[in-house]
Structure 1
Amino acid sequence: MVAYCSHRPWPTRLGALVCCALFLAGCSGKKPDSVVTPLPPVAKQPLADKASSFQEPVRGVWLATVSRLDWPPINSINASSAASRNSQQQKALTDKLDQLKSLGVNTVFFQVKPDGTALWPSKILPWSDMLTGKIGMDPGYDPLQFMLDEAHKRGMKVHAWFNPYRVSVNLKPGTEAELNRTLSLRPASVFVLHRDWVRTSGDRYVLDPGIPEARDWITSIVAEVVARYPVDGVQFDDYFYTESPGAMLNDSETFREYGQHFASKADWRRNNTQQLIEQVSRAIKQLKPDVEFGVSPAGVWRNRSYDPAGSDTRGAAAYDESFADTRRWVQQGLLDYIAPQIYWPFSRSAARYDVLANWWANVVKPTHTRLYIGVALYKVGEPSKKEPDWMIDGGVAELRRQLDLNDANPHINGTILFRESYLHQPQTQKAVSYLRQRWADQATVTAQ
């Protein structure tokens, strides 16, 4: 394993951080070299002593705040007063939690860092404009604490969901101007404090994952939340390296500075992602060992045509596209759980649901890492020429088949729906009724 860039021992680095804080895209034309990730010894996972005890299967949902996709309601931003705005936002959230509780959901994955802003009073990040319409404006309450209080009151767990590297969702001049205006704030945006860390990629501003200080900064943000809040878990989504053909990340200069000892830029990039996962995992376990750490990556680790250890699939792979060796993290015991996004039906030959779910089950089988499957609620009831299964019987047939597989495989420990707002769409209502019957019954049995 490559050593950390800093020569200081890890506890010192963590102490400094805490004190400071307190799919289916076609494969690219050129086929990459096959690099079979060697199977390392299975490390003892930090929560291994709990592995044998019963844990209720996760019945989860992602609740996105980026672009106000699920919450807060856009109308609240234009409220006549701060009190009215906050009342609307809090009622919207408790209404959602009440519905999730009635559905049998027991875990909410709540997006607390949608970009370079925060949904809690951070000493590192400015307030999110998702709450007030303006970056850095104090909304007058703590959304993360409110969510924790209300969810825990209802017997539901909350995992704080972070997008690690995203600074903004677009490159519009207005966005850049708003980020620049945070210079007078305490804290200001990373966009103005560390402009040399920021790149453009995938039509957005992002941090360069190859800069060690940027990784330390992200770790300090996670440490701040874990130290200050009774979160049940921390989750990173799949946005590590996020490029698109027309908007590649220009990290050539960073590679020249830090990548001298790597055979390729791809290997160097994967090592950068590896280092972030390692140090965040260690930080969480040193602060609060009971807080779970997980990642929700793209459903495909590698295709078998590129790597004999990969799945029998043909699609964009985390290893090659996002430079995230997700399988390795499971094998090394760095994660309490992994939640791959398997957003395709059984009939999608390029990435069959059962092929991927069973492949991941075999990956976690010899480890203490739990496996939750991300399911595409957003496709349910939607017409699709390539995936007509989502329309059959209102999507219930496909959903039932996926949940049946998850429940039947002893190495799959739960399901997470993407995402909360789709529970309210007309096209999903038949499937939601089915979910309520199935999951609410399971919740009742568990409670008895």
Structure 2
Amino acid sequence: MLLQKSGVLIATALLLASCVSRPPKSLITPLPPVAKQPLPTQTKKSHETVRGVWLTTVSRLDWPPLTSVNGSSASVRIRQQQDALRQKLDKLKALGINTVFFQVKPDGTALWPSKILPWSDMLTGSIGADPGYDPLQFMLDEAHKRGMKVHAWFNPYRVSVNTKPGTIAELNRTLPLHPASVFVLHRDWIRTAGDRLVLDPGIPEARDWITSIVAEVVSHYPVDGVQFDDYFYTETPGSPLNDNDTFRKYGQGFASKADWRRNNTQQLIEQVSRTIKQLNPNVEFGVSPAGVWRNRSFDPAGSDTRGAAAYDESFADTRRWVQLGLLDYIAPQLYWPFSRDAARYDVLAKWWAEVVKPTNTRLYIGVALYKVGEPSAKEPDWTVQGGVPELKKQLDLNETVPQINGTILFREDFLNQPQTQQAVNYIKSRWGG
């Protein structure tokens, strides 16, 4: 009954969104009540070990090919993009990859025909331009045909990757579109942080809006999972998020702005988790956070590391989300070798294994394929014998620790680079079967 009710609410909201004659003030989907308590404990299911890869679309890092966007006719562009994706999936299949984490919301745009977000300019070069096909559906069809799973990967808060005048102008030009960019529909939600345009995570309506986007995908596509990356509060010393006014409005009762920020992030995770489970209990929900939750020097429960901590820098209490049962899986980014004293791979992998041990949350480890073969004074292991010994140690550990249920490589295009080929051949010999 709850599933039917949620579907009706989403359908109604989307219908209304498509019928208005001018950009509506809001396209927020009504949501079921946000979970105030942990989600009901679910019995552990039998799952295939994940051998995954992240396939990035922001800035066309992995796909689509830039050549398909520059000056091609629509038919040629579509053929080039689809052929490129088929070729990538064929290679991934041959390597033994069984799960693709496909970036469907790289910023404030979409890679599916959304009623909430305009089309991504990654596909055509222009925000809001119809690419002539549905990339998410195409990916699902092609991956499922090959026996591979697809998790829809969302960057929740990013609106743009820079704040250049040309970017601002392009976002403003979406005003007549249906839908227009959130930048013009809800300018009061937009902040600058990390030299990017982002949504303010402290605004409840902004969190509802993000949840409605996830709900749109889960209710219309046979995705196997949904993943958020680590971009929650993303600021830099030179470009902080100015949310003082938001804190004054919504932060009553919190001892500090940091505690309030962590609560905002947890509220988003809670309501997205609850919404996914009510729409389709078979869709997995996971997060891929920075590898360090907290350092032991700050918290006795933390890891024996000296790295940037998600709790303190992204205001993401990722350990608590696991403990509360809000996630089906967590995929920390452990992008360091065994010898990196400040953040040893084995120390962190085992720490996370202990975190998930008493829970039903599965643990996948994000591995730094992008560092393989790259010279580094602090991490020379990545170039020893093409990085194969280091990669072997990491995969061996992942397969030895019972609580680790898989590995995800960051990211797809590095499988095609000259410096990684020894490692790629090793992966194929190990996973390809």
TM-score (norm 2): 0.93
Residue 273 of structure 2: which of 268, 281, 287 is its match?
A: 281
For residues 239 and 71 of structure 1, do their structure 2 counterparts lie closer, same or farther at Cα, with a shift above 3 Å needed? Answer: same
Retained in 1: the 8 A contact 2:3–2:278?
A: no
C-alpha separation in 2, matches of 1:424 and 1:10: 42
Does residue 409 (structure 1) correspond to residue 420 (structure 2)? The answer is no
Q: Is the counterpart of residue 376 in structure 1 residue 364 in structure 2? A: no
Letter in 2 for 1:179: L
The amino acid across from 2:13 in the alignment is: C
Distance 2:193 2:95 in 1: 38
Shift of 1:13: 8.6
Structure 1 equivalent of residue 164 of structure 2:
172
**Residue 388 of structure 2 is aligned to residue 396 of structure 1:** yes
Deviation per CA, 1:164-211, whole angstroms, max 9, x where unpaired? 000000000000000000000000000000000000000000000000
Match of 2:306 among 314, 337, 357: 314
Q: What is the aligned partner in structure 1 of residue 60 from structure 2?
A: 68
Residue 243 of structure 2 corresponds to which residue in structure 1? 251
* Equivalence map 1:153-232=2 (5 Å): 153-232=145-224
Match of 2:230 among 235, 238, 253: 238
Q: 1:12–1:316: structure 2 CA closer, same or farther, 3 Å change rule?
A: farther
Q: Which amino acid in 2 is paired with 1:435?
A: I
What amino acid does structure 1 have at the position aligned with 2:134? D
The letter for the 2-side match of 1:113 is: K
Task: Find 2:141's aligned residue among 149, 153, 167.
Answer: 149
Quick one: which amino acid aligns to residue 234 of structure 2? T
Q: Does 1:325 align with 2:317?
A: yes
Whether 2:123 is the aligned partner of 1:131: answer: yes
User: 1: distance between equivalents of 2:285 and 2:132?
Assistant: 29
- For residues 347-366 of structure 1, the aligned pairs below 5 Å read 347-366=339-358
Aligned residues: 411
Q: Which residue of 2 aligns with 1:54?
A: 46
Does the 8 A contact of 2:7 with 2:219 survive in 1? Answer: no
Q: Counterpart of 2:266 in structure 1: which amino acid?
A: Q
Deviations 1:93-135 (CA, angstroms, capped at 9, x unpaired)? 0000000000000000000000000000000000000000000
Question: Does the aligned pair in 1 maintain the 2:191–2:242 contact within 8 Å?
Answer: yes
Alignment partner of 1:427 out of 399, 410, 419: 419
Partner SS, residue 184 of structure 1: coil
Amino acid at match of 2:423: A
Deviation at 1:395, TM superposition (A): 0.2
Residue 13 of structure 2 is matched in structure 1 by: 20
TM-score of the superposed pair, with normalisation by structure 1? 0.90
Tell me, in whole angstroms, the C-alpha distance in 1 between the residues paired with 2:89 and 2:50.
16
Query: CA contact under 8 A between 2:203 and 2:246: conserved in structure 1?
Result: yes
Residue 173 of structure 2: SS of its match in structure 1?
helix
Distance 1:13 1:254 in 2: 29
1:20–1:220 CA contact under 8 A, matched in 2: no
Other structure's SS at 1:199 match: strand
Distance 2:78 2:155 in 1: 24
- How far apart, CA to CA, are the structure 1 residues paired with 2:98 and 2:154? 20
Q: Is the 8 A contact 1:200 1:249 kept in 2?
A: yes
Q: Is the 8 A contact 1:17 1:216 kept in 2?
A: no
Aligned AA for 1:418?
Answer: F
Distance 1:19 1:287 in 2: 15
Alpha-carbon distance between aligned partners in 1 of 2:304 and 2:111, rounded to the nearest angstrom = 40
- Distance, in Å, in 1 between the alignment partners of 2:132 and 2:422 is 39
User: Identity of counterpart residues, as a percentage?
Assistant: 78
**What code does the residue aligned with 1:249 have?**
L
| Equivalent position to 1:121, from 109, 113, 129 | 113
> Displacement, 1:71?
0.1
SS in 1 for 2:353: helix
- Aligned to 1:191, what secondary structure does the other structure show? helix
Determine which of 352, 362, 367 is the counterpart of 2:359: 367
Query: Using the alignment, how far apart are the partners of 1:159 and 1:187 within structure 2?
Result: 24
Residues 1:437 and 2:432 aligned together: no
- SS in structure 1 at match of 2:175: helix
**Long gaps (5+) in structure 1:** 1-8, 23-40, 442-448
Preserved contact between residue 7 and residue 279 of structure 2 (Cα < 8 Å): no
CA contact (8 A) 2:3 2:279 kept: no
Q: Distance in 1 between matches of 2:271 and 2:47?
A: 26
Partner-residue secondary structure (3-state), 1:372: strand
Which amino acid is the alignment partner of residue 95 of structure 2? Answer: L
Displacement after TM superposition at 1:19 (Å): 3.6
229-238 vs 73-82, greater mean Cα deviation: 73-82
Deviation at 1:79, TM superposition (A): 4.0
Displacement after TM superposition at 1:20 (Å): 2.2
Q: Cα gap change, 1:75/1:272 in structure 2, threshold over 3 Å: closer, same or farther?
A: same
Are the aligned partners of 1:18 and 1:220 in contact in 2 as well (CA < 8 Å)?
A: no
| Code of the aligned partner of 1:20 | A
How big is the shift at 1:56?
1.3
CA 1:285 to 1:160, structure 2 compared with 1: closer, same or farther past 3 Å? same
1:12 Cα deviation after fit: 8.3
Aligned to 2:246, the other structure's residue is in SS state helix
Whether the aligned pair in 2 keeps the contact of 1:128 and 1:134 (CA below 8 Å) is yes
One-letter amino acid of the counterpart of residue 416, structure 1? I
1:270 deviates by 0.3
Shift of 1:251: 0.2
User: Matches of 1:321 and 1:116 in 2, distance apart?
Assistant: 23
Which amino acid in structure 2 is aligned with residue 265 of structure 1? K
CA contact (8 A) 2:6 2:279 kept: no
Output the CA distance in 2 between the equivalents of 1:415 and 1:141.
31
Change (3 A) 1:322 1:61: same
CA distance in 2, matches of 1:10, 1:96: 35
Q: Residue 268 of structure 1: which of 256, 260, 266 is its match?
A: 260
The structure 1 segments of at least 4 consecutive aligned residues displaced by more than 3 Å after TM superposition are 9-19, 41-45
